[in-house]
């Protein structure tokens, strides 16, 4: 759709400006929709997001979690029934006002008050464990600065897994299953997430624990990117979600809920992209390979015919391939446009290549060209696609390593954070110490306990010995 003229993209070092330009130039999002915190998904963005969603659909369903769709309207009575949840979300709630002027419903900010009043009935119908998910839009009135795909008022492509179990142990195993699935989604996106256990005073309203994934964005800010909430029996007691045990006694279920969505794509854009635009992992690229014919008038027919033959060969091998036959723009401009869209591989073919029975293959991640024999192209591309995925992942690992530094004093840690870094510090786990390493006004936060085990260190605040480590940074 968008006709791209060279040099429209600011350098990535100017991160938010770069990010917003990429959304526009790569046809991902149109932010001109006249309601703050919302946007229109453009064709390339929808294709990208669907490729990510298809993967989570596959992983959830392989694990036996079934897809459902629950209405957007949530009964206000059911929402208010859970006091902690209601207090936590009250200032973010949109109401649905009826033509009569009554407001009996809210728009779903999360799925709990919509689904849980039905859980007891479903357990009677289908038994335990109950394991379902939905992918929907959710609505939260955000007072903080909105950023497309990162903090929206309409949160699109949002999945929520909700499960109910007979025992605490079973629910804890379920949380681990969700973590394994989430790690697989991230692997697919070539991004290694940072995973933490949240302290009990920092969890989802009403929950008893949480495991959260984070990514560090190029400006050094942390982005919360997916959570597994351990609800214990807090919600089942409120919504009376029960089953009869073997002795005929009523028991409350143990619950887990897990959610994330378009922030996966935000991380892909932010972490893999460069000064030339998007750089996509082949797993989710709507176009994995673009063929650009290089031709003059007299060679046009022959080159086009060969390019079409090649396209068919690649398509049959299962590669998502397109060919750019536009005549009104130069090959150089075509290169530029497909680079902004992050297409992992470009094949250039002209009379020289045809004569030598070879192809010029350009890889978007390293910006390098190789000459490949035509009859070995499929094998070569298959290897190249997984190599690109691995290269991108390594690059992100290196970026994270360069951002995270260890500190022993709060002053030095904050100094590093203000410079756009992420400080790794020891922390005993107690709330008063936690509050000392957060600066809410400057959006500096600690993120909970890293899952990695560490040697004993002293808490950066109270000097008590601890193995807990956390990251402190500005946060989106
Ligand atoms: Zn402490």
Centre of ligand 1 to C-alpha 430, Å, is: 6
Give residue 464 CA to ligand 1 midpoint distance, Å: 6
Bridge pairing between strands 254-260 and 154-165: antiparallel
First-last CA distance in the chain = 30
Give the Å distances, CA to CA, from 233 to 44, 207, 209, 292, 293: 42, 9, 12, 59, 62
pTM of the model: 0.96
Q: In angstroms, rounded to a whole number, what is the distance separating the alpha carbons of residues 206 and 231?
A: 7
* Cα 215 to middle of ligand 1, angstroms: 25
CA of 435 from ligand 1 middle (Å) equals 10
Span from the CA of 469 to the centroid of ligand 1 (angstroms): 11
CA quadruple 124, 125, 130, 134: dihedral positive or negative? Answer: negative
Strands (E), 114-236: 130-139, 154-165, 194-198, 209-216, 222-232
Can you tell me the distance from the alpha carbon of 396 to that of 217, in angstroms, rounded to the nearest whole number? Answer: 10
Using the mean position of ligand 1's atoms as its centre, give its distance from the Cα of residue 408 in Å: 12
Q: Give CA–CA dist 384/334, Å, rounded.
A: 22
DSSP 8-state symbol, 429: S
Kindly state the tokens that stand for 122.
Answer: 């479903």
Q: For residue 459, report the distance from its CA to the centre of ligand 1, in Å.
A: 5
- Cα 100–Cα 36–Cα 82 angle in degrees, nearest 5: 55
CA of 331 to the centre of ligand 1 (A): 61
* Peptide linkage before 129 cis (omega within 30 of 0): yes
Using alpha carbons, select from 245, 238, 242 the residue that is nearest to residue 206: 238
Q: What is the dihedral of CA 241, 243, 244, 250, to 10 degrees?
A: -20
pLDDT per residue over 39-55, tens digit each?
999 999 999 999 999 99
Ligand 1 centre to CA of 206 (Å) is 25
* Nearest partner of 148 among 27, 270, 29, judged by Cα: 29
Cα dihedral across residues 39, 44, 48, 50: positive or negative: positive
CA dist 398 and 393 (Å) reads: 9
- Residue 310 has a pLDDT of 98
Q: Which two tokens stand for residue 106?
A: 């809210």
Query: In angstroms, what is the span from residue 422 Cα to ligand 1's centroid?
Result: 19
Q: Residues 331, 294: contact at Cβ < 8 Å?
A: yes
Instruction: Please tell me the predicted confidence (pLDDT) of residue 4.
Output: 55
Distance 175 CA to ligand 1 centre (A): 28
User: Measured in angstroms, how far is the CA atom of residue 461 from the centroid of ligand 1?
Assistant: 5
pLDDT of the chain, 476 residues: tens digit per residue: 555 555 689 999 999 999 999 999 999 999 999 999 999 999 999 999 999 999 999 999 999 999 999 999 999 999 999 888 898 889 999 999 889 988 889 999 999 999 999 999 999 999 999 999 999 999 999 888 899 999 999 999 999 999 999 999 999 999 999 999 999 999 999 999 999 999 999 898 888 899 999 999 999 999 999 999 999 999 999 999 999 999 999 999 999 999 999 999 999 999 999 999 999 999 999 999 999 999 888 899 999 999 999 999 999 999 999 999 999 899 999 999 999 999 999 999 999 999 999 999 999 999 999 999 999 999 999 999 999 999 999 999 999 999 999 999 999 999 999 999 999 999 999 999 999 999 888 889 999 999 977 788 999 999 999 999 999 999 99
- pLDDT recorded at residue 143: 86
- For residue range 296-320, list pLDDT tens digits in order: 888 999 999 999 999 999 999 999 9
- CA 424 to ligand 1 center in whole angstroms: 14
Which long-range contacts (C-beta less than 8 Å, at least 24 apart) are formed by 37-44? 37/142, 37/146, 37/151, 37/152, 37/153, 37/154, 38/152, 38/153, 38/154, 39/148, 39/152, 41/156, 42/1, 43/1, 44/286, 44/341
In the reported structure, the alpha carbon of residue 428 is separated from the centroid of ligand 1 by a whole-number distance in angstroms of 4
For ligand 1, the distance from its centroid to the CA atom of residue 443, given in whole angstroms, is 21
Residue 449 alpha carbon to ligand 1 centre in Å: 13
Judge contact between 120 and 239, C-beta under 8 A.
yes
The answer to whether 195 touches 451, Cβ cutoff 8 Å, is yes
Residue 411 CA to ligand 1 center (angstroms) comes to 16
Distance from the CA of 405 to the center of ligand 1, in angstroms? 19
Residue 177 pLDDT: 98
């Amino acid at each position: 759709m968008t006709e791209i003229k060279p040099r429209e993209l600011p350098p990535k070092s100017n991160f938010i400006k770069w990010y917003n330009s990429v959304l526009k130039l790569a046809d991902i999002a149109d932010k001109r929709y006249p309601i703050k915190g919302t946007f229109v998904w453009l064709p390339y963005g929808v294709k990208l997001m669907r490729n990510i969603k298809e993967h989570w659909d596959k992983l959830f369903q392989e694990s036996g979690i079934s897809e459902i769709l629950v209405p957007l309207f949530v009964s206000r009575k059911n929402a208010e029934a859970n006091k902690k949840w209601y207090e936590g979300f009250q200032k973010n709630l949109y109401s649905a006002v009826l033509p009569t002027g009554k407001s009996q419903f809210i728009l779903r900010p999360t799925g709990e008050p919509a689904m849980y009043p039905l859980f007891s009935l479903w357990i009677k119908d289908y038994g335990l464990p109950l394991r379902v998910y939905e992918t929907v839009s959710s609505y939260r009135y955000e007072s903080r600065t909105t950023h497309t795909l990162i903090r929206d008022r309409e949160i699109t492509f949002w999945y929520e897994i909700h499960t109910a179990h007979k025992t605490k142990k079973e629910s804890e195993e379920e949380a681990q299953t969700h973590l394994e699935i989430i790690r697989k989604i991230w692997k697919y996106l070539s991004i290694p997430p940072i995973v933490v256990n949240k302290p009990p005073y920092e969890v989802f309203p009403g929950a008893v624990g949480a495991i959260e994934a984070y990514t560090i964005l190029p400006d050094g800010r942390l982005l919360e990117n997916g959570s597994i909430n351990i609800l214990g029996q807090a919600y089942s007691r409120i919504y009376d979600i029960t089953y009869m045990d073997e002795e005929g006694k009523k028991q409350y279920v143990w619950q887990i809920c897990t959610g994330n969505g378009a922030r996966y794509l935000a991380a892909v854009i932010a972490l893999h992209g460069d000064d030339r635009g998007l750089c996509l992992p082949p797993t989710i690229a709507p176009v994995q390979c673009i063929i650009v014919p290089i031709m003059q008038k007299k060679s046009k027919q022959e080159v086009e015919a060969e390019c079409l033959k090649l396209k068919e060969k690649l398509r049959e091998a299962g590669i998502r391939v397109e060919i750019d036959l536009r005549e009104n723009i130069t090959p150089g401009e075509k290169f530029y446009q497909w680079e902004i869209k992050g297409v992992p591989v470009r094949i250039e073919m002209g009379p020289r290549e045809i004569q030598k029975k070879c192809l010029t293959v350009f890889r978007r991640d390293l910006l390098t060209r190789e000459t490949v024999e035509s009859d070995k192209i499929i094998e070569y591309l298959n290897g190249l696609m997984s190599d690109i995925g691995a290269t991108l992942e390594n690059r992100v690992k290196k970026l994270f390593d360069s951002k995270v530094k260890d500190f022993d004093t709060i002053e030095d840690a904050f100094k590093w954070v203000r410079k756009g870094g992420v400080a790794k510090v020891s922390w005993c786990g107690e709330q008063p110490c936690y509050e000392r390493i957060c600066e809410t006004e400057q959006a500096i936060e600690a993120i909970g306990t890293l899952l990695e085990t560490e040697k004993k260190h002293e808490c950066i605040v109270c000097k008590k010995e601890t193995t807990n480590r956390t990251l402190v940074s500005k946060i989106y």
